[in-house]
Chain A
Amino acid sequence: MTQTASTTDALVTKGLGVSYNKFVALADVDLNIRENSVHSIIGPNGAGKTTLFHALTGRVRPSSGKITLGGRDITNLSDNERVRRGIARSFQVTSLFPDLSVHENLRLAAQGRTPWQALAMWRRAESNHEAMATVDEMLARLSLTRVATRAAGELAHGQQRRLEVGMAMAARPRVILMDEPTSGMGIDDIETMKDLIQGLASDHTVLFIEHNMGIVMNISDTVTVLRLGRKLVEGPPAMVRDDPEVKKAYLGNMITGDIA
């Protein structure tokens, strides 16, 4: 758990709702994500966790409610504008540039924060020294330096998952959203990922979706439980674990280990 978590909110939602045609995937969600805290979202399959991320990052338009980042309304901003404001994400299903090198994947992610610069048709990609420095730093933090020149699609699963998270980190966001960063990982990889996420809280606000209760209970400051698109319970890990409602929601889907 992080002691540095401040009392100001980085990201706030009010009455957030998302409908896919007539199906209500998310309804009436109020969230207050404290600056530099580690906040996890849990809930059974289909609870609307990924949908919540889609709404926060601008991938889908909310059908109701409001989202503010650092006090400023971002509800109507496009996905790429939100990256410039400081929101970056990783995906539940790994989404990389598979034929491009690991280095190029990260370089693009670092460049994405100043995308208009990339319209320069005469400037070499490598001339963005800041982005290049970010790439080297990320490679080291993710222990991917050795495979930097390999195509992302050729990496082992665990490495791909780390790169997936690295794509979000490379944008140096204020709020980093990770959708099941440990999905499909082996024991050792999970431990590395846990340390990585924990380390992120020193200079990011961390919001992540996770099925692995070990990690959730271990490193979260706050846990929000979603069920059927609504917020069920929210609080510190110990409180959430013992909540009877949560136990019911997870019935037959016990909150131990990897449920995915």
Chain B
Amino acid sequence: MLINKPFFQFGLVVLTVLALPFFLRSGIMASEILIYGMVVAASNLLLGYTGLLSFGQGIFFGTGSYLAGIVLTRTGVPVGLMLPMAAVLGTVIATLVGGLSIRRQGVYFVMLTLAFSQLFYFLAYTFSDLTGGDNGLLDVPRPMLNGEQLVDPWSYYAYVGVCFVLVFAAMLLVTQSTFGRTLIAVRENEERAAAIGFPVRVFKIAAFAISGAVTAFAGALHAMLIGVAPLSSIEYHTSEIILVMTIIGGSSSLYASVLGASFYLLMADTLSSIWPRWLLLLGLVLVVVALFLQKGLWGLVEKIYALLTHNRIPPEVEPSDLGTDTTAKGE
């Protein structure tokens, strides 16, 4: 399908960055959408591409957030160096968490990621000298550009926008590579993937590593956006939100994740201002998605696109063609 082709997806990504300022009044909100777009895409790499439901994404997000807080408030390291550091630390921790969790399968795998999520929350809470405990780390500065700090939300939005486009391009490349195609094979039939020679565990850990790198990178951007590295970044609740966004968006393409993140954040923003019990509505949305829209919002887009272009899986073998194929007999 054309809309799932990498160049089209990349076009959508660029378009999103350019269009958000025209539709949203808050630069903070727009930046948050891009940041979560990356985070959810990273979660999608695990869920949609590899078939791994990770409840541990908040760990990596919090890791990036704390790294930004610690490095930017206590050392003179510039943002340009801090961001790669966040990605590296995210890789290391995700390799650890992923490597241990994938030793079990199915429900036990999910439970392990959940357990790690709790563990890291308590670690952050306990080591308050490093993390600020309940208060988090305050006064995380925004990056400097040409000697000026990006205080204005929309100028920081531009900064995040560039990061977003670059990260997305890299992730699209990864999903198109032999590596990405192998991940899909693992999701489709893990037993067969192992039987044809792939060390499945290594591929799963590598998927975690990339996911962790992107998530931590985005976590660092988020800390600079809100000026705080809060304890809530590493809470189990963050992992949950990331998963909810991933599922709402759908997992048949990477851009689905941007859709999921935007939908969630915009809905939360609009609803919470008119009704304090808005989470109830979110619950309803999830029920609807789980019951009727299992491919998420992107699945809906795919359906609409197919209707518009009459692109209903074209039969590639004509019935007459089958008749001449001796193997089709006896079925």
Mark A residues whose CB is within 8 Å of B. Answer: 57, 59, 78-80, 83-84, 88-89, 91, 95-100, 104, 108-109, 111-113, 115, 117-125, 127-128, 143, 146-147, 149-150, 156-159, 162, 167, 170-171, 185-189, 192
Contacts and interface: CB of A to CB of B under 8 A. Distances in A.
A111 B195 contact: no
Contacts of B178: 111, 117-118, 120, 123-125, 127-128
A119 B196 contact: no
Contacts of A162: 327
B188 A79 contact: no
Contacts of A127: 178
Interface residues of B, number: 37
Contacts of B331: 156-158, 186
A187 B191 contact: no
22 contacts: A88-B197, A95-B192, A96-B192, A97-B185, A97-B189, A100-B188, A104-B181, A108-B181, A108-B198, A115-B198, A117-B178, A118-B203, A119-B179, A121-B180, A122-B173, A146-B321, A158-B328, A158-B330, A159-B328, A186-B330, A186-B331, A189-B327
A121 B177 contact: yes
Interface in B239-281: none
Interface in B154-185: 173-174, 176-182, 184-185
A159 B193 CA distance: 20
Contact of A112 (B180, B198, B330): B198
B185 A59 contact: no
A121 B316 CA distance: 31
Nearest to B174: A121
Contacts of A113: 197
A109 to B, nearest CB: 5
Most central of A100, A118, A149, A157 by chain B CB within 10 Å: A118
A59 B195 contact: yes
Nearest to A94: B192
- Binding site of B, secondary structure by majority: helix, strand, loop or mixed? helix
Contacts of B330: 158, 185-189
B196 A146 contact: no
Contacts of A128: 178
B194 A79 contact: yes
Nearest to A150: B316
Contacts, number: 132
B329 interface: yes
Contact of A95 (B191, B317, B326, B329): B191
- Which of A80, A167, A187 is packed against the most chain B CB atoms within 10 Å? A80
A-B pairs, 6 with minimum CB distance: A186-B330, A112-B197, A83-B197, A112-B196, A97-B188, A125-B178
Contact of A97 (B180, B192, B206): B192
Given A125-B178, A150-B317, A192 B326 contact: yes
A138 to B, nearest CB: 13
Nearest to A157: B331
Contacts of A109: 196
B203 A119 contact: yes
Contacts of B144: none
Contact of B195 (A95, A122, A187): A95
Given A95-B192, A115-B182, A192-B326, 10 more contacts: A80-B194, A97-B192, A108-B181, A113-B197, A115-B198, A115-B199, A118-B181, A119-B203, A123-B179, A186-B329
B210 interface: yes
Contacts of A147: 316-317
B202 interface: yes
B188 A98 contact: yes
B148 interface: no
B325 interface: yes
A146 B318 CA distance: 10
B328 A156 contact: yes
Given A120-B179, A125-B181, A108 B196 contact: yes
A184 to B, nearest CB: 10
B39 to A, nearest CB: 19
B182 A108 contact: yes
Contacts of B185: 97, 100, 108
Contacts of A124: 176-178
A111 B182 contact: yes
Contacts of A111: 178, 182
Contacts of A156: 327-328, 331
A111 B198 CA distance: 9
A100 B180 CA distance: 13
Contacts of A99: 188
Contacts of B189: 95-98
A119 B178 CA distance: 7
Contacts of A115: 182, 197-199
A80 B327 contact: no
A78 B199 contact: yes
A38 to B, nearest CB: 22
B17 to A, nearest CB: 23
Given A100-B184, A120-B179, A189-B330, A146 B197 contact: no
